A and B are shown apart, each in its own frame.
Chain A
Amino acid sequence: MDVLLDNLNQFLTRFGGTIGLFVLSAIASLVLGVLLAALRVSPVPAMRAVGTGYVTLLRNTPLTLVLFFFALGFPRIFFDLPFFVLAVIGLSLYTAAFVCETVRGGISTVPEGQAEAARALGLAFLPTLTLVVLPQAVRTVVPPLTSVQIALLKNTTVAAGFSVFEAGGFYRAVNEQGGSTLVALLWVALGFVILVVPLTVLQRRLEKRWSVAR
Chain B
Amino acid sequence: MSAPTAVLFDVPGPRARARNAVAGVVTLAVVAALVVFIIVRLAVTGQFDADVWEWVLYENVQLALLDGLWNTLRAFASGAVLALVFGAVFALGRLSDHAWLRRIATFVVEAFRAVPLVVLMFIFYYGMPSIGVTVTTYAAVVLGLTLYNGSVLAEVFRAGVLAVPRGQSEAAYALGLRKSGVMRFVLLPQGVRSMLPSIVSQLVVLLKDSALGFLILYPELLFQAQFLGSNAALNSPLIPVAMVVAVIYIALCLMLSALASWLERRTRRSPTAIAVAAERPDDA
Contact = CB atoms under 8 A, between A and B. Distances in A.
Contacts of B231: none
Interface in A64-119: 64-65, 68-69, 72-73, 76-78, 94-95, 98, 101-102, 105, 107-108, 110, 112, 115-116, 119
A152 B282 CA distance: 11
B128 interface: yes
A102 B28 CA distance: 25
A174 to B, nearest CB: 10
A94 to B, nearest CB: 7
A61 B252 CA distance: 10
Interface string B113-139: 011111110110011111100000000
B2 A61 contact: no
Contact of A168 (B27, B31, B111, B118): B118
Interface residues of B, number: 67
Interface string B200-234: 00001001111110110000001001100100000
A14 to B, nearest CB: 12
A4 interface: no
A189 interface: yes
A131 interface: no
Interface in B14-43: 16, 20, 23-25, 27-28, 31, 38, 41-42
Contact of A43 (B12, B31, B127): B12
B213 to A, nearest CB: 9
Contacts of A45: 24
Nearest to A171: B126
Given A41-B5, A168-B122, A197-B114, A119 B10 contact: yes
Given A41-B5, A168-B116, A192-B119, A63 B208 contact: yes
Interface of A: 41-48, 50, 56-57, 59-65, 68-69, 72-73, 76-78, 94-95, 98, 101-102, 105, 107-108, 110, 112, 115-116, 119, 124-125, 128-129, 133, 144, 147-148, 150-152, 154-158, 160-161, 168, 171, 175, 180-186, 188-189, 192-193, 196-197, 200
20 contacts: A41-B8, A46-B25, A46-B27, A48-B1, A50-B31, A61-B246, A62-B249, A65-B249, A68-B226, A76-B238, A98-B284, A116-B7, A155-B284, A161-B215, A168-B118, A184-B127, A185-B122, A185-B123, A189-B119, A189-B120
